[in-house]
Amino acid sequence: MNSEAPVFKIKTGHLPVLLLHVLTTDLELLKAQLALRLRQTPDFFASTPIVLELTAIADSAGAPDFSGLVAFMREHGMCASGVTGGSEDQRAAAVKSGLGLYPDAQIRIAMRRSTDGQGDASGEHRAAVATTATSPPEAAVLQVQPELPGLSGESASVAPVQPEISRDAAHPAAQERAVVRPTLVIDKPVRTGQSIYAEGANLVLLAIANAGSELIADGDIHVYAPLRGKAIAGAHGNQSARIFVNRLEAELLSIAGCFKVFEDGLPEAVRGKPAQIHLEGNRLVMQPLLD
Amino acid sequence: MALQVKCATSFFFKVVNVAKVIVVTSGKGGVGKTTTSASFSTGLAMRGNRTVVIDFDVGLRNLDLIMGCERRVVYDIINVINGEASLNQALIKDKNCDNLYVLPASQTRDKEALKLEGVGKILDELKESFDFIVCDSPAGIESGAFNAMYYADEALVVTNPEVSSVRDSDRILGILAAKSKRAVDGAEPVKEHLLVTRYDPKRVNSGEMLSVADIQEILRIPLLGVIPESQMVLQASNSGTPAIHLEKSDVAEAYRDVVGRFMGEALPMRFTTEKAGFFKRLLGGN
Ligand SMILES: Nc1ncnc2c1ncn2[C@@H]1O[C@H](COP(=O)(O)OP(=O)(O)OP(=O)(O)O)[C@@H](O)[C@H]1O
Ligand SMILES: [Mg+2]
């Protein structure tokens, strides 16, 4: 290989990540409870990267023993990659233990099951996973990029972060991104294991989204073919986001974190039909599209 | 006639000079990749194409068994990559076809020895003397399968008529579309072909298995052929003869059709409906 040819690239990526919310600085207690949980599903975390979410302990004095926690997690197949939230001291302690710092972001309300959803146990379990895996921190787009100077050509459109509002304040409307990004149009099938994210934009898919695939948009999602995978619209909390599909066969639908799973199939009225999905309060409404 | 075809194709490839790399892949194991690789490469060679079939299933060598050349394996692909043998030393000439060579996998080495860069080098060298390079992929989506598919120009996606196999094929198609060399380079995408194997119309009709239409509806790629389920495949592999050589067999004919379609012939699909049984025919039912 030519030694002058570039052999690496630095790019920003948006990957779903699991958050472990740390609710105590007492490591022994934390380990004990984690161990109990992991015994039930020993292979659940197969080398999954995990971010430690420290917001709940930010006001506690001192920091957990991160080195001990990381070692314990590693034994159970969880790779702690960094922390988010937490006090200055805690973040400093995390860095000392070799952890990375994710931008300090107030965590958005968790994904919640649509109020008329079925509440079976396995569904709840999935809910817990879906929560952390697919609901990024509120305003992550606003806050992530300024901490990666020079890595993204898009930082011009990002409002600067004022540190004092970064923890508890509700973000005022003025902070919403001012620039509307162009719709992301995909004309190839989205297949099992693939995930598409339209960041700050609508997503239009002109081909199938098969079972085991994932469509995520901060705006609306349109699928002009069968939708068989998961569709997550309004991923940053836009409650007026909608999903439009040509043929509804989805595994999961979510708008602004309010979701439904369809382990036992979709309701007759919309199954396999053109449909639209929107939010009414806490309820995900699925309607056939009439012509 | 056979001679004419031979001249025409080799002339074509010398002028245009494009050797094609074709991966036979599936995701799921045991669906018929190796059976297909053996028969497909044999069929290409029978039409006069200079063809080599490579076993990428390091550690689980069995293409050589199905091709009936296991006793002649001296060197393998990893010897070549490590510079311990030349390609010429490792290539085994097929016992039935003049234009066909087998590059066996290693039975003893561990899989990590096969690296993408080494594979690329071997393929480049093979491209100089062959028209078609058929890569028999191992099951799974790990490095072995990735090595086999990365350089592909075309892919035969082998699928059995069951949900888990279709799901795995979908995943493989996703990887081909996103991570193959063609995808990474932004070149023309890998050309995808659907090959449904072990198809049993009777079990499809009884609802036990997916139909060809069901599979196409999910995967949405062009159908290259349907290979029926047949006891004779096992016999063929036990005797070290690719199934395409079988006399009076649906499987052999189906594989010949596949090769014909691959070469651009418009052949109707066969073996997709239940054969009328003896009593049905006797009674005039259908
Ligand atoms: N059309 C067919 N009819 C009946 N049996 C078949 C057919 N095709 C393949 N088989 C049988 O299925 C089994 C698996 O076939 P084969 O080894 O070709 O699959 P494979 O996809 O290469 O498997 P692996 O993933 O292990 O490499 C063998 O026993 C073979 O004889
Ligand atoms: Mg095989």
pLDDT digits (tens, 9 = 90+) for B175-186: 999 999 999 999
pLDDT of B242 above 60: yes
Confidence of residue A159 (pLDDT cuts 50, 70, 90): very low
Q: What is the pLDDT of residue B122?
A: 95
Are the beta carbons of A188 and B175 separated by less than 8 Å? no
Confidence of residue A127 (pLDDT cuts 50, 70, 90): very low
More confident residue, A256 or A176: A256
Are the beta carbons of B177 and A207 separated by less than 8 Å? no
Q: What is the pLDDT of residue B111?
A: 66
What is the percent of chain B where pLDDT is above 70?
A: 88
The partner residues of B228 in beta bridges, in order of sequence, read: B199
Q: How large is the ipTM?
A: 0.78
Q: What is the pLDDT of residue A6?
A: 80
pLDDT of A166 above 60: no
Are the beta carbons of A212 and B175 separated by less than 8 Å? no
Give B115 Cα–ligand 2 centroid separation in angstroms. 19
Instruction: Tell me the mean pLDDT in the region A53-80.
Output: 86
Q: What gap in Å lies between CA A181 and CA A178, rounded to an integer? A: 9
More confident residue, B62 or B254: B254
pLDDT of B273 above 50: yes
Low-confidence winner among A189-198, A258-267, B152-161 (lowest mean pLDDT): A258-267
Ligand 1, atom nearest to B31 Cα: 21
Q: What gap in Å lies between CA A241 and CA B194, rounded to an integer? A: 37
- B107-117 pLDDT, tens digit each: 766 667 788 99
Find the residues whose C-beta lies inside 6 A of ligand 1.
B 26, 29-35, 57, 138-139, 197-198, 227, 229-230, 233-234, 237, 251
Q: Identify each DSSP E strand in chain B by its residue range.
A: 20-25, 51-55, 92-93, 100-103, 132-136, 154-159, 191-199, 223-228
Question: Which residue's alpha carbon is nearest to atom 13 within ligand 1?
Answer: B30
Are the beta carbons of A192 and B175 separated by less than 8 Å? no
More confident residue, B282 or B195: B195
A133 close to A149: Cβ distance less than 8 angstroms: no
Among B170, B172, B173, B217, pick the best mutation site for testing chain A contact (most A Cβ within 10 A): B170
Ligand 1, atom nearest to B199 Cα: 1
pLDDT of A39 above 70: yes
**Domains of chain A and CATH, by start:** 18-144 (3.30.70.260), 151-167+174-288 (2.160.20.70)
Ligand 1, atom nearest to B57 Cα: 27
Among A7, A191, A195, A249, pick the best mutation site for testing chain B contact (most B Cβ within 10 A): A191
Instruction: Tell me the mean pLDDT in the region B119-136.
Output: 96
Q: What is the mean pLDDT of chain B?
A: 89
- B4-19 pLDDT, tens digit each: 444 344 444 444 558 9
Neighbours of B30 (CB within 10 A): 11
B55 close to B105: Cβ distance less than 8 angstroms: yes
Q: What is the pLDDT of residue A12?
A: 65
Instruction: Tell me the mean pLDDT in the region A226-242.
Output: 95
pLDDT of A89 above 70: yes
pLDDT of A162 above 80: no
Q: What gap in Å lies between CA B6 and CA B258, rounded to an integer? A: 18
Q: What is the pLDDT of residue B206?
A: 94
Are the beta carbons of B174 and A188 separated by less than 8 Å? no
The token pair at A259 is: 């979701």
What is the percent of chain B where pLDDT is above 90?
A: 77
Q: What is the pLDDT of residue B61?
A: 64
pLDDT of A247 above 80: yes
pLDDT of B272 above 50: yes
* Residues with Cβ within 8 Å of residue A283, at least 6 apart in sequence: A114, A115, A116, A258
Range from A1-5, A35-39, B10-14 that averages highest in pLDDT:
A35-39
The token pair at B138 is: 């191992």
| Closest listed residue to residue B213, CA positions, set B198, B196, B228, B193 | B196
Instruction: Tell me the mean pLDDT in the region A217-240.
Output: 96
| Closest listed residue to residue A128, CA positions, set A15, A233, A224, A19 | A19
Q: What gap in Å lies between CA B262 and CA B131, rounded to an integer? A: 14
Q: What is the pLDDT of residue B10?
A: 45
Q: What is the pLDDT of residue B193?
A: 98
Neighbours of A288 (CB within 10 A): 14
Low-confidence winner among A18-32, A40-54, B132-146, B195-209 (lowest mean pLDDT): A40-54
The token pair at B242 is: 């690719």
Q: What is the pLDDT of residue A284?
A: 95
Q: What is the pLDDT of residue B106?
A: 77
Q: What is the mean pLDDT of chain A?
A: 75
Low-confidence winner among A10-19, A164-173, B195-204 (lowest mean pLDDT): A164-173
| Closest listed residue to residue B185, CA positions, set B111, B120, B135 | B120
Instruction: Tell me the mean pLDDT in the region B151-165.
Output: 97
The partner residues of B25 in beta bridges, in order of sequence, read: B157
Instruction: Tell me the mean pLDDT in the region B142-162.
Output: 96
Q: What is the pLDDT of residue A17?
A: 75
Confidence of residue A116 (pLDDT cuts 50, 70, 90): low
Radius of gyration of chain A (CA): 20
Instruction: Tell me the mean pLDDT in the region B192-214.
Output: 96
Give B33 Cα–ligand 1 centroid separation in angstroms. 7
Instruction: Tell me the mean pLDDT in the region B256-268.
Output: 97
More confident residue, A58 or A224: A224
Q: What gap in Å lies between CA A7 and CA A52, rounded to an integer? A: 32
* Chain B residues in contact with A188 (beta carbon < 8 A): 177
Closest residue of B to A210, CA-based?
B218
Q: Is B220 on the interface with A (CB under 8 A)?
A: yes
Instruction: Tell me the mean pLDDT in the region B49-61.
Output: 89
Q: What is the pLDDT of residue A53?
A: 87
| Closest listed residue to residue A51, CA positions, set A123, A172, A144 | A144
